Structure 1
Amino acid sequence: MAEVTFKGDPVTLGGKEVKVGDTAPDFTVLNNSLEEVTLSDYQGKKKLISVVPSLDTGLCSKQTRKFNEDASSVDNAVILTISNDLPFAQSRWCAAEGLDNVITLSDHRDLSFGENYGTVMDELRLQARSVFVLDENDKIVHAEYVSEGTEAPDYDTAVDALKSL
Structure 2
Amino acid sequence: MRFIGRRGVVMLFLMVAFAAGVAVPPAHADNKRLNESVFVNIYTAQKQNGCPTEPELDGRLVELARLHTLDVLNNRALNGDIGSDGSTPQDRANRSGFVGKVSETVAINPALAISGIEILGQWWWNPAYQATMKDCGNTSIGVWSENSLDRSVVVAVYGQPG
- TM-score, with length taken from structure 1: 0.32
User: Which protein is bigger by CA-based radius of gyration?
Assistant: 2
Between 1 and 2, higher relative CO (CA 8 Å, sep ≥ 6) is seen in 1
TM-score, normalised by the number of residues in structure 2 = 0.32
Higher relative helix content: 2
Q: Which has more strand, going by share of residues? A: 1
